[in-house]
Amino acid sequence: MERNGAIYKDFEKLSAENISLKDRILGYQEKLHDLRNALKNSNALLEKAKSLHKEMVAEKDAVIKALANRVAHLEAIAAHDGTNTGVPTSATPIGKKKVIPNSRGNSGKKRGGQPGHPKHFLPRFCGSEVTEIVIHTPEGVCAACGGELKDSGETVSKDEYDVEIRTVKRRHEYRICRCAGCGAEARQPIPGNLKENNQYGGGVQALALSLMNTGNVAINKVRALISGMTDGAMTQSEGFITKLQGRAAMGLAAFVADLKTLLIQRPLVYWDDTVIMINTARACLRFYGDKSISFYAAHAHKDMESLEDDGILGLLTPETTAVHDHNRVNYNDKFCFRNLECNQHLQRDLQKNADDIRHAWSADLKKTISSTIHERKQMIAKGETRFPPECVEKFKEKVSLALSAGWEENKGSARNEAAKFERALLARIDKYRENYFIWVEDFSLPTTNNLSERGLRCVKTHMKVSGQFANVKTARYYATIKTYIETCRKNGINEMAALSRLCMGNPYTASEIFSP
């Protein structure tokens, strides 16, 4: 019994310990469960923290990339000059070296005369050419012994070219004759340029017009220059000089109409326009022409209505090639001429894109165009009229490959600020590639619109001096007179002679200039 009692006590003790262990195990299990939950929450927070960190890093990288693109874009804009945009060299910022585009290669020689090159001198006048002889006789006595100096009859002669402004006070007398039979009077008719009792002659009027329209001299400076040249004998009023411009332009109405008729019959017509200022507002001056004709027109607005007013583009036929900078108005349904795009502008756009976004395709295409133009010049110098067909096909293939590469490069830079310009450039070349590259198949066609560019430089200089035109009328006076001056100059007619005839009411006619 005692033994059983002891076993029972042990059993109770073990049972109690077992219950205690169970309670402790349950406590540990609860704590373990709590720890597991806490660990899961910690892992979730950690993953969330990792995800947030990853997002922040990606966002930071995107901002850095955007800022880097922005900096590169601004640096590219700061680097814009005449090689990659239409920025004139005169607009080069202070402190930056001017970039003057020049297609001529460096010969490696020093500037100026080369060793062994003969020096050039003005030739001596022949006897009949001499208009004035000035005698220089030594005065005093012999420097060696003090004896009397006598003329030996020998001379040392030196010739001199010079110019002299001489004031002429000319009087025209018209003799009155009477008929011996009936006594009726007769005399030569007095021309319109001599209607007053006294007036300025054609020479001085021509000088004033040349100073204003070719020299771009301000009206008050024209007055001062002519007064100075004539030692104060002629002091024209500024009102007279202003009216002179209008009278000269009105005297050219027939010339302008006849010249326009000739221009629209030409097989090749260059045209371009530029911004001018008229009474503080933006306006437009246009150039149309070729190697022998310069035709200018001024308008208050740059629009289709003003193009129609010019009456040139709308009258060109499909047989006419119009050379121009890229302007979609040239492809308007109202026009039917063949379009030829300027490749110099295209090359500047390609260089701008290469500088801005640094993609290889545009630099490669520019190089292809430049080398092909250079090769074309060499072939023209040898008397060739076109490339072999295989060369033409090879050029077209290079253009296509460059455009394909361009689209691929653009995809990787969609967020770059310069990518939009690049897409527009790619689309433009692709759409108008035939108009850009007709010259590859026909050597008679030009590669650039430089003739128009040169024709409009004069008005840019005029704007720098004058700032603006007072009104549309004065801008049109300028355009008309420039049409006359530049067309005469292109055909070998002296400007002063042409303007003198104009001021005397007898300007050169288009038929005189272009007579067979």
For 475-498, what is each residue's pLDDT tens digit?
999 999 999 999 999 999 999 999
Q: Look at residue 73 and tell me whether its pLDDT is greater than 80.
A: no
Strand-pair partners of 148: 141
pLDDT at residue 90, rounded to an integer: 63
Lowest mean pLDDT among 151-165, 239-253, 355-369, 389-403: 151-165
Please report which confidence band the pLDDT of residue 60 belongs to, taking 50, 70 and 90 as the band edges: confident
pLDDT at residue 117, rounded to an integer: 79
CA dihedral (309, 313, 316, 317) positive or negative: negative
Q: Look at residue 382 and tell me whether its pLDDT is greater than 70.
A: yes
Please report which confidence band the pLDDT of residue 53 belongs to, taking 50, 70 and 90 as the band edges: confident
Cα 193 to Cα 171, 203, 251: the distances in Å are 13, 12, 12
pLDDT at residue 87, rounded to an integer: 66
Percentage, residues of the chain above pLDDT 90:
65
> Quick one: average pLDDT of 159-185?
91
The DSSP symbol for 413 reads T
Q: Mind spelling out the 3-state secondary structure of 454-473?
A: HHHHHHHHHHHHHCCECCHH
| Calpha distance 46→386 (Å, rounded) | 73
Q: Which two tokens stand for residue 179?
A: 């008929």
Q: Look at residue 91 and tell me whether its pLDDT is greater than 90.
A: no
Please report which confidence band the pLDDT of residue 4 belongs to, taking 50, 70 and 90 as the band edges: low
| Calpha distance 456→452 (Å, rounded) | 6
Please report which confidence band the pLDDT of residue 124 belongs to, taking 50, 70 and 90 as the band edges: very high
**Based on the number of CB atoms within 10 Å of its own CB, is 80 exposed (0-12), middle (13-18) or buried (19 or more)?**
middle
> Quick one: average pLDDT of 379-392?
94
pLDDT at residue 8, rounded to an integer: 67
pLDDT at residue 3, rounded to an integer: 61
> 80, 87 in Cβ contact below 8 A?
yes
Does 188 or 412 have the greater pLDDT score?
A: 188
The per-residue pLDDT of the chain, averaged, comes to 89
Please report which confidence band the pLDDT of residue 46 belongs to, taking 50, 70 and 90 as the band edges: confident
pLDDT at residue 347, rounded to an integer: 95
pLDDT at residue 86, rounded to an integer: 65
pLDDT at residue 299, rounded to an integer: 97
Q: Look at residue 48 and tell me whether its pLDDT is greater than 90.
A: no
Q: Look at residue 332 and tell me whether its pLDDT is greater than 70.
A: yes
Q: DSSP letter string over 220-285?
A: HHHHHHHHHHTTTS----HHHHHHHHHHHHHTTHHHHHHHHHHHTT-SEEEEEEEEEEETTEEEEE
| Calpha distance 505→195 (Å, rounded) | 12
pLDDT at residue 248, rounded to an integer: 96
Q: Look at residue 1 and tell me whether its pLDDT is greater than 60.
A: no
- Cα 453 from chain centre: 6
Does 134 or 104 have the greater pLDDT score?
A: 134
| Calpha distance 396→379 (Å, rounded) | 19
With a CB cutoff of 8 Å and minimum separation 6, the contacts of 414 are none
Please report which confidence band the pLDDT of residue 376 belongs to, taking 50, 70 and 90 as the band edges: very high
pLDDT at residue 22, rounded to an integer: 78
Please report which confidence band the pLDDT of residue 82 belongs to, taking 50, 70 and 90 as the band edges: low
Roughly what angle, to the nearest 10 degrees, separates helices 472-490 and 450-466?
130
Please report which confidence band the pLDDT of residue 380 belongs to, taking 50, 70 and 90 as the band edges: very high
Task: Tell me the pTM.
Answer: 0.80
pLDDT tens string 430-473: 999 999 999 999 999 999 999 999 999 999 999 988 889 999 99
User: Which of 13-22, 413-422, 429-438 is modeled with the greatest confidence?
Assistant: 429-438
pLDDT at residue 100, rounded to an integer: 66
Q: Look at residue 13 and tell me whether its pLDDT is greater than 80.
A: no
Q: Look at residue 369 and tell me whether its pLDDT is greater than 80.
A: yes
Report which of 312, 280, 281 is spatially closest to residue 296, judged by C-alpha positions.
312
pLDDT at residue 66, rounded to an integer: 75
| Calpha distance 143→150 (Å, rounded) | 13
Please report which confidence band the pLDDT of residue 103 belongs to, taking 50, 70 and 90 as the band edges: low
pLDDT at residue 439, rounded to an integer: 96
Q: Which two tokens stand for residue 57?
A: 């890093």
pLDDT tens string 275-310: 999 999 999 999 999 999 999 999 999 999 999 999
Please report which confidence band the pLDDT of residue 500 belongs to, taking 50, 70 and 90 as the band edges: very high
> Quick one: average pLDDT of 8-18?
72
Q: Look at residue 77 and tell me whether its pLDDT is greater than 80.
A: no
pLDDT at residue 102, rounded to an integer: 61
